[in-house]
Each structure stands twice: as C-alpha cells, then as structure tokens.
Amino acid sequence: MLFAAIGAGSAFAHHESGAQHSGQAQAPAGSQKTGKGTGLIQQIDREKGAVTIKHGPLQGINMPGMTMSFLVKDKAMLSKLQPLQKVDFELTYDGRNYMITKIK
Amino acid sequence: MNHLTRRKLLVTFAAAGAASLGGPLWRQSVFAAMDAGHKTAPVPAPPTAPTGQLTNRLRLPGASGLYAAVAAKDVKQITVSEMNFDVLPKLSSPFWAYVAEVGGKRLLNPTLLARPGDQIKLRMVNRLKQPTIIHWHGLTNDDRNDGTGMYLSEPGKSFDYSFTVRDRAAMYWYHPHPPYLTGEQTYHGLAGLLIVEDDDERKLVHALDLTLGVTDIPLVIQDRSFNFEGKLEYKLSREQMFMGFLGEEILVNLTTRPYFDAAQRIYRFRILNGSNARSYRLAFAQGARLLDHYLIGTDGGLLEQPLKVRETFIGAAQRIDVLLDLRAASANEPVFLKSLAFDPMHNESVDEKTGKPAVGAAQGGADHAAHAAAGALADGVEMLLLRINIKPSPEYKGKIPSQLSQLPKLAVAAGEPRRLTLGQDRKGNWNINGWRFNMHETPVRVQRGARETWLLQNNRASMPHPMHIHGFQFRVLERRDSPAQVTALATRQKGLLPQDFGLLDTVLVWPGESVRIALDFSHPFPGDQTYMFHCHNLEHEDTGMMIGYKVKA
C-alpha cells in the first residue's frame, strides 16, 4: 500500500502539472545513453509528438517492461503508426528526457 | 504520509482517470527501474479508453472461421484446441478455441443454431493441457449434459454430450466450466453462442427483415490484456482474483477498437457480456445525445412487449437483445455503442452495518485501483465499444411489433423465501451464506417440481455480483435497497429493471441490494440432479463463490 501511494503520488503530481510525457524525468543531465526495445502502441498523440508504448525490457537504458509515454524526435515518425501495432524502436536518454529516434 | 492523506490522494488519482496504476505489477516495474539507476522513476502513462480511433472492421459470423453459423445438430465433434490466432490485427497470439469441422469447413467457436426439440449429439475432444468441460449456459439439461464441472474431460480424453433443446428461442452461450479454471480457459478464447429459434422468433425476423450477421448482429463484449508482443495475457495477483479480471482493451467479437457499417434501418443487436468480471452500462450515443432503443429480450428470450430504454447495466454472462432504429439517427456522424461512466461500487471496505467507510480503510474505486493490474481500464469508466457508421441506403419500412411473445405464466411460491447472502470473510474470500465451493457438498437442496422464492442479499461491504444458476431460468420479483444509479433506470413496479421482465439465468446484484427471484424446479430428468449456483465473475467463481445444489427426485 505504501508503495502504491508513493507511486500514485508521483504520477499524480505529473498529471497535475499537465506534463504527461513521462520522458521528462527530473534527473540531472548526464552522458547520453541509447537503447532499443519492442512494444505495443497504446496511444498516439500526433499533436504533441508523443507515443505511449507498452514495452518489454529496454536494452541499453536498463529499464524493465512497462507502459510509458515517449516523445519522438520528429512528429512525422508517427504518421504511419496505429494503436495496438507492434513496433521496434530506438531511443536516447540524456538523464532528463527519453526521446524515440527510430520506430517501425 | 498519513492514512487519510493517502486515501484522499488515491481517490483523486482514480478520479483523474488513472485509477489502475497502483497495482503490484506497476509497483514492481517502477521500483525495479529506480533500482536500475534512475534517480527519478520513469512514470508510466495513465491508461485511457479509446476516444474515437475505432478502425478495425467488426468480426461477424460468416460461412467459415470465427463464429461461423452452423446447425447444432450438424456438429458431431468439437475439439477444444490450443492454436495461434490474430486477435490483434496481423499479430499472432496463443489462443484457445472450440474447433468444429462441418461440410469441409473449419469453424472456430461456431455460432450453433437450433430449434426447440432438436437433438444435439456431439463429442468434445480435449486437446488442452488441463481438464475441461463445456457448460451450455442457460439451457435446461440434466446434470451430466449441463457441464457443471462434476464431469470433466482430462487432457487427451473426450466427453459425449447428448441432449434435447428444451428452451425458448434466445441467445444462449457455451463456455468452459472446470472447477478453478473457468476464468483462465474462457479468457484464452473459449466461448461461443448458441442461438435457438422458434416461431415467435421467426415472426420477428420476418417483420423486420433481419439476417444474422448482417442486420441481426451478435456482439460479444470482452476485456483483455496483451503483453508487449501483442499476446493475450492472464496473470492475476491474489488481490486481482478477489476483484475479478479487468483488461486493458475492450474487444467486441474479438475485435479491438471495432467499427461496423450500417444502413438507415432497424438493427438488432444481441449482446453478451462475455467478460470475466467487468460490468457495462450500455447505451447508444450520437454526439452527446443518447439514442432511445428497445429492449426486446434477455437471457431466456423475447419479452412479451418491447420496452423503450436509453441505457442498461449488463453484468458478466448476461445477455440483452435490443432494436436500434438508425432511421432516427443523423446520417452525418457515427453512432457509438458505449459504456457510460458508473460507480463500480467496490465497497469491500465499508462498515457492514452503516455502509460508510470503515475507519482506516481506503474506499471504493480507490481501493480497487490499488489492486487492479497495471494498465487496466478502471471499472466503471466511460468507454467507446463500437463505432457504427451510417451509410446511405434504400428506404426501409420495417416497424417494431408491439407484441413479441408470451412468457410462461409466473407462478410464485407461498411462504418465506430461501435467503442467500453474498459476502466475504475479510480475508479475501467471497462466499454464499458463508459457504465456499466444495465439489462434494450441496448445501442447498430443493424438491423436483417445487416452486421457491430465493432472496439474494448482497452485503454492503461487497461489490456487484452477477449470480448465475444452472439448470433453471428464473424471474425477478422485486429489487430492494438498490443503489441510486440502478434505481434511476428502474420501472415503477417493485424496483424492477426493464430486463427483469424477461427470463433470466443470471442477475446482477449490487452491494446492499436484495433481489427476490422466482424459481420453478420442474424438469423432466429422473433421479437426483446436482447443479451449480455461483457468481459469474469468473475469478470469484474460481476462488470459491460457488455452491452445488441438489434437486431431489
């Protein structure tokens, strides 16, 4: 229950701020990491240039599987994507933001 | 963080539409990520229902393949099979299906068609790796053919069914019923429809010029979750078993985010809530406007007269039969079948005597939020189920008949009802009168031919329970102490909902509510017969909210 409350708290704060792109983490900037993964598209926000993906473990980023919203480098990358489509993607993490650089 | 603050936060969070992020799987992911060196955990995105991107053509019964319609008496064998199937477009998933070969065609979960008096003789071959049995949901059968779970087919073995269709025209269904495994097996795909036709039914079909799969549309609503590779996933914690499975996607006829092209005419939708646990508050909407439509039938077939409705609660395993006149809808925008928002009444933590939140306990939807699977759509959220595109079409002159059928005369037993209380032991176990499932016990015994009234009383510290009885259909006599959202849809007659005017095999009983039902235990089967009475929230059933009852010869 305690974990749930903490988790809910951070997500709630994020929601309140209106910044639902969870790629915008608060950690200080560091050296950029690159990673890749596979996942199932849940939602596409073409206006904001974001895609929500239920993904497996991300290689290179050391992140376990979860559902997350990511910004994409170029909104045009979203043009051919559909919800519930399986995708392979690559991303970068600079200590603050996650950014998808390739997705198909 | 103190108790109160935490609860308040969870309630607010649930209200913000992200009710299901607190589950154990999510916790595991987030904290694993923190351990992996992220100073701030990545925050999972809140789950949301689709908001209009319904782009997959609805799957419908055709000549072959999924749901293909076939005369039941022509089906000699059903093989319960594990296979791969594209539940999501172009993505193969492990899937379990009832497979029949008829006339050189391979049918998956075939829609079986029958008439009263038909003899059904078929062999079920079990190719699963676990025992199974088919339950013919809603049909009047002896206990061997009912598929109660007392007779099982082990892996590699078979079971022969032989019975006569004795019931009125209606949309029944068939699904697995092995003890402790019904939820898992149904979830993986095992469910099909059995449609019985009779003369009343034919009159209606003729009057409205209906064709199965074209203008007479069966809709099987189920929620499912997929893993990151698009494969069906059924992994539940003990807390989730206590609540029942809630999926991330709502499927109609195993189609995710479906649409259907319709003409400007009357459509018949026969809707089965085939979900493991989720209830829906169904309505047809065009823009902000809810469309009037007509309830014409329930679990056990046609009502006597059509009843105009705007929305209907439907619990797991229940069926409704409705007519929607699309001539009354604007042709310029789609109509949506949707589930309206409602209070799912997960009131497990309230004080039983006062009905108010127990001291120190989280409440309602927030409590449920803490137990739902990561990413699951919260129970009771508004969601779009099916987009109906209206296409230009030739003039249609069909008119809804004022008289549909005659129901068997309602005979009510004299005397006190048999009381059956739906509750829990506060240790995570649901029960009926304190009884939990034991294959060797029949705590309720009735006399063959007897009429009885059963009073189904759901505790306040409870959640909605769709209660299903095997072997007999029943009528609802009265509802008392219904929650406001149910009362709002009730008629002026004894708190009854429109669907309570039909024959039922399953009734949704809300927390704090009492429902009186009339049963007639007459049947033609000699000898003692043992059936089941249980909650059709399949996780509740599988964890013990089921009792055997004996009909004494």
C-beta atoms of B229 and A11 within 8 A: no
- Which residue of chain B comes nearest to A13, CA vs CA? B13
Nearest CA-CA distance, residue B96 and chain A, Å = 21
- Enumerate the H helices of B113-177 as residue ranges: 143-146
Please choose, from the candidates B288, B287, B304, the residue with its C-alpha nearest in 3D space to the C-alpha of residue B296: B304
| pLDDT score at B38 | 42
**Among A14, A68, A84, beta carbon nearest to B257:** A84
C-beta atoms of B29 and A22 within 8 A: no
Counting as low any pLDDT under 70, the low residues of chain A are 1-30
Q: Is B368 on the interface with A (CB under 8 A)?
A: no
C-beta atoms of B39 and A1 within 8 A: no
Q: Per the confidence metrics, is the pTM higher than 0.90?
A: no
B18/B10 Cα distance (integer angstroms): 10
Q: Which two tokens stand for residue B500?
A: 């309570």
Q: Which two tokens stand for residue B336?
A: 């949506």
C-beta atoms of B31 and A3 within 8 A: yes
C-beta atoms of A54 and B39 within 8 A: no
Residues 91-120 of B with CB under 8 A from A: 91
| pLDDT score at B349 | 86
CB atoms within 10 A of CB B527: 10
**Among A8, A27, A98, beta carbon nearest to B39:** A27
**Among A12, A25, A55, beta carbon nearest to B38:** A25
Nearest CA-CA distance, residue A70 and chain B, Å = 9
Q: Is B48 on the interface with A (CB under 8 A)?
A: yes
C-beta atoms of A15 and B46 within 8 A: yes
Nearest CA-CA distance, residue A43 and chain B, Å = 8
Chain A residue numbers touching B228 (CB-CB < 8 A) = 38-40, 53-56, 65
C-beta atoms of A54 and B53 within 8 A: no
First to last CA, chain B: 62
Average pLDDT over chain B reads 89
Q: Is B8 on the interface with A (CB under 8 A)?
A: no
Q: Is B228 on the interface with A (CB under 8 A)?
A: yes
C-beta atoms of A54 and B226 within 8 A: yes
Q: Which are the contacts of B294, defined by CB distance < 8 A and separation ≥ 6?
A: B306, B307, B308, B309, B322, B323, B324, B400
C-beta atoms of A66 and B33 within 8 A: yes
Q: Which two tokens stand for residue A33?
A: 């990491």
CA distances for B292 relative to A96, B268, B312, B525, B548, angstroms: 52, 14, 11, 43, 41
Chain A contact probe: residue of B43, B54, B349, B384 with most A CBs at under 10 A: B43
Please choose, from the candidates B463, B356, B53, B311, the residue with its C-alpha nearest in 3D space to the C-alpha of residue A42: B53
Counting as low any pLDDT under 70, the low residues of chain B are 1-52, 359-375
B528/B15 Cα distance (integer angstroms): 51
| pLDDT score at B409 | 87
Q: Which are the contacts of A16, defined by CB distance < 8 A and separation ≥ 6?
A: none
First to last CA, chain A: 38
B58/B257 Cα distance (integer angstroms): 8
A25/B42 Cα distance (integer angstroms): 7
**What ipTM does the predicted assembly reach?**
0.78
Q: Considering Cα of A59, then A62, then A63, then A69, what sign does the dihedral take?
A: negative
Please choose, from the candidates B314, B327, B321, the residue with its C-alpha nearest in 3D space to the C-alpha of residue B204: B321
Chain B contact probe: residue of A62, A69, A86, A92 with most B CBs at under 10 A: A86
CB atoms within 10 A of CB B458: 25
Q: Which are the contacts of A18, defined by CB distance < 8 A and separation ≥ 6?
A: none
Nearest CA-CA distance, residue B32 and chain A, Å = 7
Please choose, from the candidates B334, B262, B256, the residue with its C-alpha nearest in 3D space to the C-alpha of residue B56: B256
Q: Is B370 on the interface with A (CB under 8 A)?
A: yes
- Which residue of chain B comes nearest to A1, CA vs CA? B370
B57/B258 Cα distance (integer angstroms): 5
Chain A residue numbers touching B365 (CB-CB < 8 A) = none
CB atoms within 10 A of CB B294: 20
Which DSSP category does B504 fall into?
Answer: B
Strand partners, B270: B218, B321
Per residue in B60-92, pLDDT (tens digit) is 998 889 999 999 999 999 999 999 999 999 999
B60/B24 Cα distance (integer angstroms): 37
Which DSSP category does B346 fall into?
Answer: -
Burial of residue B394, with CB atoms counted within 10 A of its CB: 0-12 exposed, 13-18 middle, 19 or more buried: exposed
Q: Could you identify the residue written with the tokens 């799987």?
A: B25
